Amino acid sequence: MKSAIVRHILVKDKETCEQLKRKIQAGADFAKIAKQFSTCNSAKRGGELGEVKKGQLVPVIDKLVFTAAERVLHGPVKSQFGFHLVEIKFRMD
């Protein structure tokens, strides 16, 4: 079964998500930003979701994790929980 190592940041609005993406792309530490701003329980782990299997995440994020480029910061991606920044560290078969 396919799996991936993923980290993400979840916030309530698109504008905040875009601001955080710009900060990270300018060199800010992903884990520090996640701990400070993410509303997900993974925030205390710096946004680390660890290993996720196909089908474990909400559909829009699951599709991104298993189709988008690795080692790239993706987002904002909207789900029923808010807006996500997602980084796929790597995938495994």
| Per-residue pLDDT reduced to its tens digit, 65-78 | 999 999 999 999 99
DSSP state of 68: S
Please answer whether residues 4 and 66 qualify as being in contact, where contact means their C-beta atoms are separated by less than 8 angstroms.
yes
Q: Tokens for 3?
A: 């799996």
Please report the beta strands in the chain, taking only residues with DSSP state E, as ranges in sequence order: 3-11, 48-53, 73-79, 82-92
Query: pLDDT at position 1, please?
Result: 81
Please answer whether residues 57 and 46 qualify as being in contact, where contact means their C-beta atoms are separated by less than 8 angstroms.
no
| Per-residue pLDDT reduced to its tens digit, 1-33 | 899 999 999 999 999 999 999 999 999 999 999
Percent above pLDDT 90 for the chain:
98
Q: Which amino acid belongs to residue 67?
A: T
Give the position of tokens 């916030």: 11
Any idea what the CATH number is for the domain that residue 62 is in?
3.10.50.40
Per the structure, the count of domains in the chain is 1
3-state secondary structure of 70: coil
Beta-ladder partners of 62: none
Kindly report the average pLDDT of the chain as a whole number: 97
| Global confidence as pTM | 0.95
Tell me which residue range forms the domain holding 69: 3-92
